[in-house]
Amino acid sequence: MTKQSVRTRIGPVLLFLLLCGPALTARASEVQGQQVTSPEEFFGFQMGADRMMARWDKMVEYYKLLENSSPKIKVVEMGPSTLGNPFLALFISAPTNLARLDDLRQINAQLSDPRGMAEPQIDRFVADGKVVIIQTMSLHATEIGGSQMAVELAYDLVSRTDEETQRILDNVIFLMIPSFNPDGQIMVTDWYRETVGTEYEGVGYPSLYHHYTGHDNNRDAFQTNTVESQYVAQLMFRDWIPQAYIDHHHMGSYTARLYVPPYAEPIRPFSDPLVWREMSWYGAHIAYKEEEAGLSGIVNAAIYGGWGHFGFHWITPFHNIAGMLTESASARLASPLFIHPDQLEGGRRQLPEHEAQTTFPNPWQGGWWRLRDIVERQKVSAWAALDIAARNKETVLRNAYLKAKRQTERGATGKPAAFVISAAQHDPLTATVMVNKLLAQGIDIQQAPQSFTHEGKVYGAGSFVVSMAQPKMGVIRWLLGRTFYPVNSYTVDGQGNPIRPYDMAADVMAEFMGVRVDPVDQAVEATLARVTAPIEPVGEVTKGNHGYVIDGRLNHAFQAVNLLFDKGIAVRRVDQPSGEMLQAGDFIVPGGSDSDIADIARQTGVDFTALERDATATSRELERLRIGMYQRYYGGNMDEGWTRWVLEHYGFPYSTLMDADIKSGELAEDYDVIILPADRVSGMVGEQEPESRGPYASGPRSYPPEYRSGMGQEGVDALQAFVESGGTLLTFAEAGSLAIEKFGLPLRNATENRPSTEFWCPGSTLRTKFDKAHPLAYGMPDEGLATFLASNQAYEIEPTAHNDRIEIIASFPERDLLQSGWLIGEDVIAEKAAMVSVEYGQGRVVLIGFRAQHRAQTHGTFKLVFNTLLSGPEHH
Ligand SMILES: [Zn+2]
């Protein structure tokens, strides 16, 4: 088989490995003694050299060259990245291991899930198996050290012939993702090359460095919305459950030089304790090897706490993987940064000063800090993890077995015993989306072919059961169970101020998605069948005398409506319920070709049911609205990127509006709705740091003029004129302040200027009431959950002569708001509005105070956005 055949899509990877075993062995003998080209020869500079950055296309070429010249590396192309660049996985190991990769994968799978296996089998697997370690590079594309280092690491592993290297290759399958974000790698390299040698050299990338997610790509591991996350989830959660995983990042420039494992406090419970011990074990060896190499400034057990968001390195411990992180001090991309000794400081969490302590015995002394310093330290850390695992192969593999076995036992004896996902859901199609996301995590799910009764409740046929008696019980617990952030001396300081969690205080998938999940204390005894593949529901079509009805409670109904619009098929929306059949918010499709309707039902999973009565009087025809999405520079706005993802996924066409487009005025001629994603007013208007200018400028003014953000008063005026002449302005969370402050809306944000001791809600789910009779809340349940971040808003209406022109679409209840996360001072927002519509001239401003489409994860509240994008201001 030729080299080119290695280009293969994700599906056939394993088949390919199986088929190509013998071919790889044959190749091994052919290329023995062949010279391996060094990175320096290939790229023309040393990795990490000042002002030099290798670009992804050349790296891909280099990895393929390595594969051609060495039997110790195999390049697998997982498929295209979001923007169509190749996403690579490199398998590096001894040729004899690469020749039996599928066999080794199966041994690894048995150790990671030993249910039903006897001890002697385990002994054999421990003896025959190999340690699997995954390391990923430069997920955050401006954190360039990892992708540059990876080139040298791969070269060293395949070219060095010493005993230490041989031991690693013999005992470890090293699966390296040389760039977690190839698109971003290219964006940042091109940007850097454009600015190097100018006064803007080393300035950060001005937009999102992932097409949709930017920095938030690391918040996607549990929902796997991006293809990059999907590839890594397949490798790490399903095909290969590695024993250890390291994600290489950069941090700020002025604290330690390199953070290595383990994490600081607090940790998140419900993983096997061995996993935390393993992280300390790997981390100690990494730090030890750094000191041995004479590299200063290494800290462990500080700065990064063990309770983080569910990015890959923080969710892996609950997959029984020692999931770790390194964080290098940043230079200015590839340009050196001079740091005075007195500029160096401690970091958050257990590194109070930049002074020697047991976890930081050798502080760096200041001076020039270079990309090469980062590459060297990262390479030692990456290598050290491989080294210690190789020296202790059998211990590592036996512990993989022990973790899986003990977690399964805990799940079997603890409470809850299982989570039941009832077939009776407000939005059953979104429930299947959630089931598919759980399958992507490699979680075992069972489905009931018939209805059953459990703990006094009847569950319909098709209900799902997720038993806790499986190795991944920790993941299940956190994605489906209620979560309370710990409140203790690690999370609240001596003055009683809460310390911000690293990200969200809870990441409960079921709550975000609005899917009802019941924890049950006893194992479910009903007949169940294992779900073996993602569920792809196909909608049923039954034509009536007056066409079809689509259930307006389904998120996918909006996708169907957009597809109907695409085909020019008329759609109506029901405003008044009539009979059993029609609820306010349902969609009516009076006509359309049978094949178009069947196509859309198949694509969306939405049922088209028969409409037998004329409902023209109680419904109105919908028009496709013209949507504008505001976007700015200054690193881009992740909420904007995620919103684009949601709109595209559900078929809403939109145009992007940059500052210049907003300022050009006459917006009402081209748009019906303009969205302002969550953002600070100063960021949108461009008011921040007016004093910062010249060569020492910081913030937006440090960018070249064409990349400086801010629509200015001109832009604000244009938006105001747009609303006055009939447009809808939709604001998310803190962006609401732009309309309140600049347009003079009679609203007060109840959370504004509250000290954190008075009000604190850092990424929690809150019980919320919806007025589902209002067109903007059509299809919502009476009560649901809103995802609320620290900077989000709740509204009080100031008394004016026109209180009637303000409508409350959603509001918080009187008490017991917190479902999951952390909430201090619920009285501040209790009974306040969470979403309002304010008439303004001929148009209106719709303010959603919380994150209704947060990271494309909060499916439970997507409809509030979709409704606003489907109904003009005439429908108050
Ligand atoms: Zn990072």
Per-residue DSSP letters for 528-595?
Answer: -EE--S-------B--BTTBEEE-TT-HHHHHHHHHHHHTT---EEE-S-BTTTB-TT-EEE----HH
**Cα 179 to ligand 1 centroid, rounded to whole Å:** 13
Rg value, the chain, Cα: 28
**Cα 149 to ligand 1 centroid, rounded to whole Å:** 15
- What are 672's two structure tokens? 């019906």
**Cα 433 to ligand 1 centroid, rounded to whole Å:** 28
Q: How far apart are CA 588 and CA 396, in angstroms?
A: 60
Contact 213, 102 (CB under 8 A): no
CB-neighbour burial class of residue 392 (10 A; exposed 0-12, middle 13-18, buried 19+) = middle
**Cα 306 to ligand 1 centroid, rounded to whole Å:** 16
Side-chain-side CA neighbours of residue 39 (13 Å): 24
Q: How far apart are CA 320 and CA 117, in angstroms?
A: 18
Side-chain-side CA neighbours of residue 45 (13 Å): 15
Q: What residues pair up with 530 in beta bridges, in sequence order? A: 446
DSSP class of residue 249? E
**Cα 390 to ligand 1 centroid, rounded to whole Å:** 27
Please tell me the predicted confidence (pLDDT) of residue 25.
41
Q: Nearest CA to 173 among 273, 118, 111, 100?
A: 100
Contact 754, 871 (CB under 8 A): no
E strand map for 321-414: 322-329, 337-339, 367-369
**Cα 752 to ligand 1 centroid, rounded to whole Å:** 30
Q: Nearest CA to 167 among 391, 5, 4, 369?
A: 391
Please tell me the predicted confidence (pLDDT) of residue 690.
57
- pLDDT less than 70: residues of the chain: 1-34, 688-693, 872-876
CB-neighbour burial class of residue 626 (10 A; exposed 0-12, middle 13-18, buried 19+) = middle
Segment holding 245, helix H or strand E: strand 244-251
**Cα 249 to ligand 1 centroid, rounded to whole Å:** 4
Whether cis (ω within 30° of 0) applies to the bond prior to 266 is yes
Cα angle 231-235-238, degrees, rounded to a multiple of 5: 115
**Cα 240 to ligand 1 centroid, rounded to whole Å:** 24
**Other CB atoms closer than 10 Å to residue 780's CB: what's the count?**
27
CA dihedral of 562, 563, 567, 569, whole degrees rounded to 10: -60
Place of tokens 């809103």: 786
**Cα 208 to ligand 1 centroid, rounded to whole Å:** 14
Contact 156, 165 (CB under 8 A): yes
**Cα 194 to ligand 1 centroid, rounded to whole Å:** 23
**Cα 339 to ligand 1 centroid, rounded to whole Å:** 21
Q: Tell me the whole-structure pTM to 2 decimals.
A: 0.95
**Cα 216 to ligand 1 centroid, rounded to whole Å:** 9
Amino acid identity at 712:
G
**Cα 727 to ligand 1 centroid, rounded to whole Å:** 39
**Cα 184 to ligand 1 centroid, rounded to whole Å:** 13
Please tell me the predicted confidence (pLDDT) of residue 691.
60
Rounded to a whole number, what is the distance in angstroms from the first to the last CA of the chain? 66
**Cα 325 to ligand 1 centroid, rounded to whole Å:** 9
Place of tokens 């003990």: 406
**Cα 53 to ligand 1 centroid, rounded to whole Å:** 18
**Cα 815 to ligand 1 centroid, rounded to whole Å:** 38
Please tell me the predicted confidence (pLDDT) of residue 16.
42
**Cα 635 to ligand 1 centroid, rounded to whole Å:** 14
Cα angle 224-520-116, degrees, rounded to a multiple of 5: 70
**Cα 251 to ligand 1 centroid, rounded to whole Å:** 7
Q: How far apart are CA 278 and CA 531, in angstroms?
A: 32
Please tell me the predicted confidence (pLDDT) of residue 34.
65
Q: How far apart are CA 87 and CA 769, in angstroms?
A: 43
**Cα 430 to ligand 1 centroid, rounded to whole Å:** 31
**Cα 648 to ligand 1 centroid, rounded to whole Å:** 27
**Cα 51 to ligand 1 centroid, rounded to whole Å:** 21
**Cα 349 to ligand 1 centroid, rounded to whole Å:** 17
**Cα 215 to ligand 1 centroid, rounded to whole Å:** 7
**Cα 624 to ligand 1 centroid, rounded to whole Å:** 40
| Residue 187 neighbours by CB under 8 Å, 6+ apart | 141, 205, 207, 209
**Cα 250 to ligand 1 centroid, rounded to whole Å:** 5
DSSP class of residue 44? S
**CA of residue 355 relative to chain centroid, distance:** 35
Region of 40 (left: φ > 0; alpha: ψ -120 to 50; beta: rest) is: alpha
**Cα 59 to ligand 1 centroid, rounded to whole Å:** 21
**Cα 138 to ligand 1 centroid, rounded to whole Å:** 7
Amino acid identity at 516:
R
Q: What residues pair up with 459 in beta bridges, in sequence order? A: 452
**Cα 812 to ligand 1 centroid, rounded to whole Å:** 35
**Cα 328 to ligand 1 centroid, rounded to whole Å:** 9
